[in-house]
Amino acid sequence: MRFRASSIVIFDADVLFFAGIFKLIHRLRGNVLVLDIHDYYPSARGQRKLRIVSMFADRVVGVSHFVLDQISVRSNTSRCVRPMVLTEAIRERPVGDFVVGIVGRVSSDKDVHRVLELSRLTSNDVVYSIRGGADASSAGYLASILVELEKAEFSNIRYEGVVERHALYDGLSALLVFNTTEPSGRVVAEAQAAGCPPIVPNSGGAFEYVEDGRSGFVYSHDDIDGLAALLNGLGQNRANSFELEQACREWVSENYSPDASAAMYAQGIAL
Protein backbone atom coordinates (compact mmCIF):
# COMPACT_ATOMS: atom_id res chain seq x y z
CA MET A 1 0.00 0.00 0.00
CA ARG A 2 1.39 3.40 -0.98
CA PHE A 3 0.24 6.93 -0.24
CA ARG A 4 0.24 9.90 -2.58
CA ALA A 5 -1.46 13.10 -1.37
CA SER A 6 -5.00 12.07 -0.35
CA SER A 7 -5.02 9.02 -2.65
CA ILE A 8 -4.42 5.58 -1.17
CA VAL A 9 -3.06 3.38 -3.96
CA ILE A 10 -3.51 -0.34 -3.40
CA PHE A 11 -1.68 -2.95 -5.46
CA ASP A 12 -3.27 -6.03 -3.88
CA ALA A 13 -6.96 -6.62 -4.59
CA ASP A 14 -7.37 -8.58 -1.35
CA VAL A 15 -6.12 -5.59 0.65
CA LEU A 16 -8.64 -3.38 -1.15
CA PHE A 17 -11.48 -5.49 0.24
CA PHE A 18 -10.48 -4.76 3.83
CA ALA A 19 -9.79 -1.10 3.07
CA GLY A 20 -13.21 -0.87 1.44
CA ILE A 21 -14.91 -2.03 4.62
CA PHE A 22 -13.76 1.23 6.21
CA LYS A 23 -14.64 3.26 3.14
CA LEU A 24 -16.86 5.62 5.12
CA ILE A 25 -13.93 6.50 7.39
CA HIS A 26 -11.73 7.09 4.36
CA ARG A 27 -14.42 9.28 2.83
CA LEU A 28 -14.73 11.39 5.99
CA ARG A 29 -10.97 11.89 5.97
CA GLY A 30 -11.00 12.89 2.29
CA ASN A 31 -9.07 9.82 1.17
CA VAL A 32 -9.51 8.26 -2.25
CA LEU A 33 -9.10 4.48 -2.67
CA VAL A 34 -7.32 3.62 -5.92
CA LEU A 35 -6.80 0.06 -7.17
CA ASP A 36 -3.77 -0.44 -9.42
CA ILE A 37 -4.25 -3.59 -11.54
CA HIS A 38 -1.11 -5.12 -12.98
CA ASP A 39 -2.05 -8.82 -13.27
CA TYR A 40 -4.22 -10.93 -15.51
CA TYR A 41 -6.50 -13.48 -13.83
CA PRO A 42 -7.08 -16.32 -16.32
CA SER A 43 -9.86 -18.09 -14.40
CA ALA A 44 -13.48 -16.96 -14.39
CA ARG A 45 -13.43 -17.18 -10.60
CA GLY A 46 -10.42 -14.88 -10.38
CA GLN A 47 -11.96 -12.30 -12.69
CA ARG A 48 -15.27 -12.42 -10.82
CA LYS A 49 -13.46 -11.80 -7.55
CA LEU A 50 -11.58 -8.88 -9.10
CA ARG A 51 -14.81 -7.31 -10.40
CA ILE A 52 -16.44 -7.53 -6.98
CA VAL A 53 -13.42 -6.18 -5.10
CA SER A 54 -12.94 -3.31 -7.58
CA MET A 55 -16.38 -1.99 -6.63
CA PHE A 56 -14.82 -0.81 -3.35
CA ALA A 57 -12.41 1.47 -5.23
CA ASP A 58 -13.07 5.11 -6.06
CA ARG A 59 -10.75 4.85 -9.04
CA VAL A 60 -9.09 2.02 -10.95
CA VAL A 61 -5.94 2.26 -13.03
CA GLY A 62 -4.18 -0.48 -14.96
CA VAL A 63 -1.01 -1.09 -16.92
CA SER A 64 -3.02 -1.93 -20.06
CA HIS A 65 -6.53 -1.90 -21.41
CA PHE A 66 -6.20 -5.67 -21.46
CA VAL A 67 -6.04 -5.95 -17.68
CA LEU A 68 -8.72 -3.29 -17.23
CA ASP A 69 -11.10 -5.29 -19.43
CA GLN A 70 -11.33 -7.79 -16.55
CA ILE A 71 -13.58 -5.36 -14.69
CA SER A 72 -16.53 -3.23 -15.69
CA VAL A 73 -15.11 -0.09 -17.27
CA ARG A 74 -16.55 3.05 -15.78
CA SER A 75 -15.87 6.78 -15.79
CA ASN A 76 -13.21 6.52 -13.09
CA THR A 77 -11.25 3.79 -14.88
CA SER A 78 -8.13 4.70 -16.82
CA ARG A 79 -5.07 3.11 -18.42
CA CYS A 80 -1.75 4.32 -17.05
CA VAL A 81 1.74 3.25 -17.97
CA ARG A 82 3.33 2.73 -14.59
CA PRO A 83 6.48 4.86 -14.38
CA MET A 84 9.43 2.82 -15.60
CA VAL A 85 13.09 3.64 -15.17
CA LEU A 86 14.48 2.82 -18.60
CA THR A 87 17.86 3.86 -19.84
CA GLU A 88 19.14 3.48 -23.37
CA ALA A 89 21.16 0.28 -23.31
CA ILE A 90 24.31 -0.37 -25.29
CA ARG A 91 23.51 -3.59 -27.11
CA GLU A 92 25.92 -5.76 -29.04
CA ARG A 93 24.41 -5.75 -32.52
CA PRO A 94 23.85 -9.13 -34.20
CA VAL A 95 26.35 -10.36 -36.73
CA GLY A 96 25.47 -12.93 -39.35
CA ASP A 97 22.19 -14.71 -38.63
CA PHE A 98 18.92 -12.99 -37.87
CA VAL A 99 18.62 -13.89 -34.19
CA VAL A 100 15.17 -13.87 -32.59
CA GLY A 101 15.13 -13.77 -28.79
CA ILE A 102 12.52 -15.38 -26.54
CA VAL A 103 13.27 -13.78 -23.20
CA GLY A 104 12.01 -14.40 -19.66
CA ARG A 105 10.59 -17.21 -17.58
CA VAL A 106 10.18 -20.45 -19.50
CA SER A 107 6.70 -21.75 -18.69
CA SER A 108 3.60 -23.05 -20.43
CA ASP A 109 1.67 -19.81 -19.92
CA LYS A 110 4.38 -18.03 -21.96
CA ASP A 111 3.79 -20.46 -24.87
CA VAL A 112 7.53 -20.86 -25.42
CA HIS A 113 6.96 -24.27 -27.04
CA ARG A 114 5.46 -22.54 -30.09
CA VAL A 115 9.00 -21.81 -31.24
CA LEU A 116 9.28 -25.49 -32.23
CA GLU A 117 6.48 -25.20 -34.78
CA LEU A 118 7.64 -21.77 -35.91
CA SER A 119 11.20 -22.91 -36.60
CA ARG A 120 9.90 -25.44 -39.12
CA LEU A 121 8.35 -22.61 -41.14
CA THR A 122 11.24 -20.14 -41.21
CA SER A 123 14.41 -20.13 -43.28
CA ASN A 124 17.74 -21.39 -42.00
CA ASP A 125 19.12 -17.87 -41.50
CA VAL A 126 16.49 -17.21 -38.81
CA VAL A 127 17.93 -18.42 -35.50
CA TYR A 128 16.08 -18.54 -32.16
CA SER A 129 17.67 -17.85 -28.78
CA ILE A 130 15.72 -18.85 -25.65
CA ARG A 131 17.01 -16.86 -22.67
CA GLY A 132 15.55 -17.56 -19.26
CA GLY A 133 15.01 -20.19 -16.63
CA ALA A 134 12.10 -22.04 -15.07
CA ASP A 135 10.79 -22.17 -11.52
CA ALA A 136 9.98 -25.44 -9.78
CA SER A 137 6.48 -25.62 -11.22
CA SER A 138 7.77 -25.23 -14.80
CA ALA A 139 10.89 -27.41 -14.60
CA GLY A 140 9.15 -30.28 -16.38
CA TYR A 141 7.95 -27.98 -19.15
CA LEU A 142 11.48 -26.69 -19.77
CA ALA A 143 12.86 -30.22 -19.70
CA SER A 144 10.38 -31.32 -22.39
CA ILE A 145 11.51 -28.47 -24.64
CA LEU A 146 15.19 -29.30 -24.10
CA VAL A 147 14.50 -32.91 -25.15
CA GLU A 148 12.98 -31.63 -28.41
CA LEU A 149 15.97 -29.35 -29.02
CA GLU A 150 18.25 -32.40 -29.17
CA LYS A 151 16.64 -33.29 -32.50
CA ALA A 152 18.54 -32.24 -35.63
CA GLU A 153 15.52 -30.43 -37.09
CA PHE A 154 15.73 -27.85 -34.30
CA SER A 155 19.41 -26.99 -34.75
CA ASN A 156 18.43 -23.34 -35.33
CA ILE A 157 17.08 -23.04 -31.75
CA ARG A 158 19.53 -22.37 -28.93
CA TYR A 159 18.77 -22.52 -25.23
CA GLU A 160 21.12 -20.12 -23.43
CA GLY A 161 19.72 -20.34 -19.91
CA VAL A 162 19.58 -17.38 -17.58
CA VAL A 163 21.42 -14.37 -19.03
CA GLU A 164 22.61 -11.36 -17.05
CA ARG A 165 20.19 -8.44 -17.41
CA HIS A 166 22.78 -6.11 -18.92
CA ALA A 167 23.42 -8.65 -21.69
CA LEU A 168 19.87 -9.84 -22.17
CA TYR A 169 19.43 -8.32 -25.64
CA ASP A 170 23.02 -8.63 -26.86
CA GLY A 171 23.23 -10.16 -30.31
CA LEU A 172 19.46 -10.20 -30.81
CA SER A 173 17.90 -8.91 -34.02
CA ALA A 174 14.40 -8.90 -32.49
CA LEU A 175 12.43 -9.90 -29.40
CA LEU A 176 9.56 -12.35 -29.91
CA VAL A 177 6.63 -12.57 -27.50
CA PHE A 178 4.27 -15.56 -27.74
CA ASN A 179 2.18 -14.98 -24.60
CA THR A 180 -1.32 -13.81 -25.56
CA THR A 181 -2.17 -12.87 -21.97
CA GLU A 182 0.87 -10.73 -21.16
CA PRO A 183 -0.52 -8.06 -18.78
CA SER A 184 1.77 -5.24 -19.86
CA GLY A 185 4.80 -4.37 -21.92
CA ARG A 186 7.70 -4.10 -19.49
CA VAL A 187 9.87 -6.56 -21.42
CA VAL A 188 8.77 -4.87 -24.65
CA ALA A 189 9.83 -1.45 -23.38
CA GLU A 190 13.18 -2.81 -22.19
CA ALA A 191 13.83 -4.29 -25.63
CA GLN A 192 12.89 -1.03 -27.33
CA ALA A 193 15.27 0.86 -25.03
CA ALA A 194 18.04 -1.46 -26.21
CA GLY A 195 17.12 -0.82 -29.85
CA CYS A 196 15.81 -4.37 -30.21
CA PRO A 197 12.46 -4.32 -32.07
CA PRO A 198 9.76 -6.40 -30.35
CA ILE A 199 7.41 -8.69 -32.26
CA VAL A 200 4.20 -9.19 -30.26
CA PRO A 201 0.78 -10.84 -30.68
CA ASN A 202 -2.35 -8.78 -31.18
CA SER A 203 -3.78 -10.18 -27.93
CA GLY A 204 -2.86 -9.27 -24.38
CA GLY A 205 -1.32 -6.06 -23.12
CA ALA A 206 2.07 -6.15 -24.87
CA PHE A 207 0.86 -4.90 -28.24
CA GLU A 208 -0.48 -1.73 -26.61
CA TYR A 209 3.18 -0.73 -26.24
CA VAL A 210 4.00 -1.17 -29.95
CA GLU A 211 3.23 0.95 -32.99
CA ASP A 212 3.28 -1.63 -35.76
CA GLY A 213 6.09 -1.01 -38.21
CA ARG A 214 7.65 1.79 -36.18
CA SER A 215 8.51 0.64 -32.67
CA GLY A 216 8.14 -3.07 -33.42
CA PHE A 217 5.73 -5.40 -35.15
CA VAL A 218 2.32 -6.88 -34.31
CA TYR A 219 1.21 -10.27 -35.63
CA SER A 220 -2.09 -12.13 -35.48
CA HIS A 221 -1.76 -14.51 -32.53
CA ASP A 222 -3.53 -17.37 -34.33
CA ASP A 223 -1.61 -17.05 -37.61
CA ILE A 224 1.69 -18.94 -37.24
CA ASP A 225 2.23 -18.86 -41.00
CA GLY A 226 1.88 -15.08 -41.04
CA LEU A 227 4.40 -14.79 -38.19
CA ALA A 228 6.84 -17.03 -40.08
CA ALA A 229 6.44 -14.89 -43.20
CA LEU A 230 7.14 -11.75 -41.14
CA LEU A 231 10.33 -13.25 -39.67
CA ASN A 232 11.50 -14.52 -43.05
CA GLY A 233 10.97 -11.08 -44.53
CA LEU A 234 12.87 -9.36 -41.73
CA GLY A 235 15.68 -11.89 -41.97
CA GLN A 236 16.08 -11.44 -45.71
CA ASN A 237 15.80 -7.65 -45.73
CA ARG A 238 17.92 -6.00 -43.05
CA ALA A 239 18.67 -2.80 -44.93
CA ASN A 240 16.55 -0.71 -42.54
CA SER A 241 17.55 -2.47 -39.32
CA PHE A 242 19.52 0.52 -38.03
CA GLU A 243 16.62 2.90 -38.70
CA LEU A 244 14.28 0.53 -36.85
CA GLU A 245 16.63 0.40 -33.87
CA GLN A 246 16.72 4.18 -33.73
CA ALA A 247 12.93 4.37 -34.02
CA CYS A 248 12.57 2.03 -31.03
CA ARG A 249 14.82 4.21 -28.90
CA GLU A 250 12.96 7.35 -29.99
CA TRP A 251 9.69 5.66 -29.02
CA VAL A 252 11.05 5.04 -25.52
CA SER A 253 12.13 8.65 -25.06
CA GLU A 254 8.72 9.87 -26.27
CA ASN A 255 6.52 7.48 -24.33
CA TYR A 256 8.37 6.16 -21.27
CA SER A 257 10.28 9.13 -19.94
CA PRO A 258 10.15 9.16 -16.11
CA ASP A 259 8.61 12.65 -15.99
CA ALA A 260 5.90 11.90 -18.55
CA SER A 261 5.04 8.52 -17.02
CA ALA A 262 4.92 9.95 -13.50
CA ALA A 263 2.66 12.79 -14.63
CA MET A 264 0.30 10.33 -16.34
CA TYR A 265 0.22 8.10 -13.28
CA ALA A 266 -0.40 11.04 -10.92
CA GLN A 267 -3.29 12.15 -13.10
CA GLY A 268 -4.66 8.62 -13.19
CA ILE A 269 -4.86 8.17 -9.44
CA ALA A 270 -6.32 11.61 -8.73
CA LEU A 271 -10.03 12.42 -8.92
pLDDT greater than 80 at residue 62: yes
* pLDDT given at position 28: 62
Q: Mean pLDDT throughout 58-87?
A: 74
Least confident of 19-28, 99-108, 207-216, 218-227: 19-28
Q: Classify the C-alpha dihedral 46-48-49-51 as positive or negative.
A: positive
Angle at which helix 13-21 crosses helix 44-54, to 10 degrees, equals 30
Q: How far is CA 251 from CA 40, 187, 196, 222, 227, in A?
A: 26, 14, 12, 27, 23
Q: Mean pLDDT throughout 148-162?
A: 95
Say what percent of the chain tops pLDDT 70. 83
DSSP symbol at 92: P
Query: May I ask the CATH architecture of the domain 98-255?
Result: 3-Layer(aba) Sandwich (3.40)
How confident is the prediction for the chain on average, in pLDDT? 85
* pLDDT given at position 3: 44
Between 220 and 51, the higher pLDDT residue: 220
In tens, the pLDDT along 174-216 reads: 999 999 999 887 889 999 999 999 999 999 999 999 999 999 9
Count of positions (residues) in the chain = 271
pLDDT greater than 50 at residue 4: no
* Contact yes or no for 127/98 (Cβ under 8 A): yes
Q: Where are the domains of the chain?
A: 2-83+257-269, 98-255
Report pTM: 0.86
